[in-house]
Amino acid sequence: MALTTTTQPVPATAVPPRPASKPTPRWRNRESLTAWLFLLPSLIGFLIFTAGPVVAAGVISLLDWNLFSPPTWAGLRNFARLGPDPTFWSALGNTAYFTFVSVPLTILVSLALALLLNQGLRRIAVFRSLLLLPYATITVAVAFVWIWLYIPHDGLANATLGLFGIHGPAWLISDNWAMPALILMSVWKSFGFGMVVFLAGLQAIPQQLYEAARVDGTSPWQSLRNVTLPMLSPALFFVIVTSIIGSFQVFDQALIMTNGGPGTRTTTLVMYIYRTGFENYDQGYAAAQSLVLFAFIVLITATQFFLGIPRDYEEAARLDGANRWQAFIRVIVPLAVPAIATLAVFKFIGQWNNLLWPLVISNSDATRTASVGLQVFQDTNGTQWNLLLMAATVTTVPLIILFFLTQRWFVRGITMSGLGGR
């Protein structure tokens, strides 16, 4: 009789589950560290020169401080003073009037000229340069020219109106015409920037869209409304936001052309803040006003997005065997040159034209900038127009030279910023 043996299965030894590896924190990722490294200079500058002053203004707004004696606690008293202050509300109303009239006019003029230049005109670079020159010119210098144009009896503006039998107003000393005079000057000064942004956007719109629209039998107006404007929406949004911010901060032309007058008809909010803080030495109240201005700008504007260089270029370089640093040097930097040059030129123009901050801190000829020097020169020489216009021309020449040397980068740089169509 054969014996049958049954083999019992040996139970498998339970293997404890492997502990899941902790994911590497995002901030320790090599790509994230590289990004933070490149962002660090801008972040430091933002914290020191933007966020820091905002926080300091918030603290100062709670104090009574005249710069000469130790500050004392005031609580919310400075904000309570805003309510019954008629000059503050007048300045706020003047600023809103200036903004909501000048911004639409600037956008309309900028878009119309961009559409005209996009029609394949010969020597487009020459026209683009000439039309952008007002933006590159020192605001104080431009204000001198427009004061001369607005002279009631001998100015070119009223002389031109007289050819049509129209008696021109006393522009800068008229209650009704002083603010429109500032708006006209500001539109002429700033339309060039919007024109270049819109032109970059127009040149990035695929022509196939217009060809398809023509096949469908659309009129030029319908193509503008259904093709051009929707594709220009990033550029349009950018120009609207930057124009509103700039208009709420208007100061230079009001100070030079009207000094806030007649009365307070052209006193803007920034001018009132400047006078409160640095002429009346009421730093706490000036800080409270500046926070109100900051709040208005934040409420009206929105967060913008910036489209960088597509990652496809870098990935293609990596496939060819280049490491991250080689891809950055050989691909990213050459492609970014137009955008970097554009940013550098715009920043140079902005700092060269700046009047408010140098006016606050400069107290001698050795530290005065070109804009402050022109303002002091005007106070010294009064209405000697030959000297004033000569000084304005001399201070503008460096900007004109810089602009003509770099203007070919402008459209390319702005197109790369992601504003050139969707």
- CATH number listed for the domain at residues 85-267+305-419: 1.10.3720.10
- Supply 197's token pair: 């942004």
One-letter identity of residue 78 = N
Domain boundaries, given as residue ranges, for the chain: 85-267+305-419
At 75, list the tokens. Answer: 């609580």
Question: What values do phi and psi take at 73, rounded to 5?
Answer: -70, 130
Structure tokens at 100: 């909501």
The pLDDT of residue 304 is 42
Per-residue model confidence (pLDDT) at position 117: 86
For residue 409, give both structure tokens: 């980068």
Give the span between the Cα atoms of 386 and 108, in whole angstroms: 34
Phi, psi of 75 (to 5 degrees): 65, -135
> Which pTM was predicted?
0.77
DSSP code for 34: H
Q: Which pLDDT does position 309 carry in this prediction? A: 47
* 42-60 per-position pLDDT tens digit: 889 888 888 888 899 999 9
What is the per-residue pLDDT for 365? 76
List, for the chain, all residue ranges whose pLDDT scores fall below the cut of 70. 1-29, 121, 125, 301-325, 327-328, 331-352, 357, 382-383, 403, 406-422
Per-residue pLDDT tens for 332-364? Answer: 666 666 656 665 666 666 666 777 767 777 777
User: What pLDDT score was predicted for residue 307?
Assistant: 40
The structure tokens listed for 167 are: 């008696």
Return the pLDDT at 343: 59
Q: Which sign, positive or negative, has the C-alpha torsion 36, 245, 117, 208? A: positive
